[in-house]
Amino acid sequence: MTSLEPSRVRPDAGVRSSVSGWARMREVVAAYLSLMKLRVVELLLITTLPAMVLAQRGIPPLGLVLATLLAGTLAGGSAHAFNQVLERDIDAVMHRTRRRPLARATVSPHRAFAFASLLLAGATAIMLIWVNALAAALTIAANLFYVLIYTMLLKRRTAQNIVWGGVAGCVPTLIGWAAVTGSLAWPPVLLFLVVFFWTPPHYWPLAMRYRDDYARAGVPMLPVVAPATTVALQIMAYSWAMVVTTLALWPVADLGWIFGLAAVATGAWFLLEAHRLYGRARRQPDGAGLTAMRLFHGSITYLTVVFVAVMADVLILG
């Protein structure tokens, strides 16, 4: 009788198990991709490709472009993964970051560290094999600076953390130029400085928005330790330095009217927004209800337009 009893296993159990397995796999893949913060990496690549086009004064070889951008993606993802390993305690208490993989324990710290190390090794190998040694050295230096200097040394100790920590985000301009020429020159240095001066006006408005988050985590971001007027004044000062440096690139890099028009128009808009933020901060020195995210989002547009204009100017005007 027992052998003739119908099976108690549901016919769709295997299908459900398979679906569950695929869902789990997608969750794991999504967690590791989240460690890389690819949306931020995308912004880094926006500064790399125009630097390559400017160095080539045209379109570089496709293989070189793909190798450089792939290595840049892996290196940037590696730095962000290392960062999340070291800052998992901060991420767990901040509303903006509490859903990150390490904060939720979706990925263990030692696996995230191994993943970050593998990404860096892959980026270095690609640079050495298909690009050149200088680009590889700059890639490693940017990664180590972000992890060791910014994350481990500066972020929890000084209100100027993002200023100097932002150096790592400037290096892709040098990497793009070095990938094509195997050397450095004044144009990529100015591109580097554009990104350097851009970083505080980009990040401090975000820090103003999440001031309480940073205060709760014990991170001394400038908006946490200084009044809104001081933060807005420094944003305005860095904005002026950024726009002046962008305009200096025009003659130094021998660019034409396309870049000049884009630099002047976006620079004027950015300075106007920075001055408006300072005006609002003077009326609300405690920062309560102060809106700064318009400048944060606008800074992304500014950087994108400026670097795309570099590329467009070279490709259209020669």
Residues 53 and 136 in one domain: yes
Report helix, strand and coil shares of the chain as percent, to nearest 5. 80, 0, 20
- Domain annotation covers residue 202: yes
Average pLDDT in the chain: 92
* Residue 17 in this model has a pLDDT that exceeds 90: no
SS3 state at 28: helix
Residues 110 and 230 in one domain: no
Residues 190 and 278 in one domain: yes
Residues 89 and 112 in one domain: yes
Residues 191 and 249 in one domain: yes
Residues 213 and 174 in one domain: no
Residues 52 and 157 in one domain: yes
What burial letters (b/e) apply to 147-165, b meaning 16+ CB within 10 Å? bebbbeebbeebbebbbbb
Residues 99 and 165 in one domain: yes
Q: Which residues contact 298 (CB under 8 A, 6 or more apart)?
A: 269, 270, 273
pTM across the whole model? 0.91
Residues 192 and 237 in one domain: yes
* Residue 18 in this model has a pLDDT that exceeds 70: no
Q: How confident is the model at residue 145, as a pLDDT?
A: 96
Instruction: Tell me how far the alpha carbon of residue 138 is from its chain's centroid.
Output: 16
Q: How confident is the model at residue 5, as a pLDDT?
A: 46
Positive or negative torsion for Cα 58, 61, 64, 67 = positive
Instruction: Taking residues 257-267, report their average pLDDT.
Output: 98
Encoded amino acid at 162, one letter = I
- Domain annotation covers residue 9: no
Residues 195 and 108 in one domain: no
pLDDT (tens digit per residue) in 143-172:
999 999 999 999 999 999 999 989 999 999
* Residue 137 in this model has a pLDDT that exceeds 90: yes
Q: Which domain holds residue 241?
A: 185-318
Q: At 235, phi and psi to the nearest 5? A: -60, -45
- Domain annotation covers residue 307: yes
Instruction: Taking residues 282-304, report their average pLDDT.
Output: 85
For residues 75 and 191, the answer to whether their CB atoms sit within 8 Å is no
Count of the separate structural domains present in the chain: 2
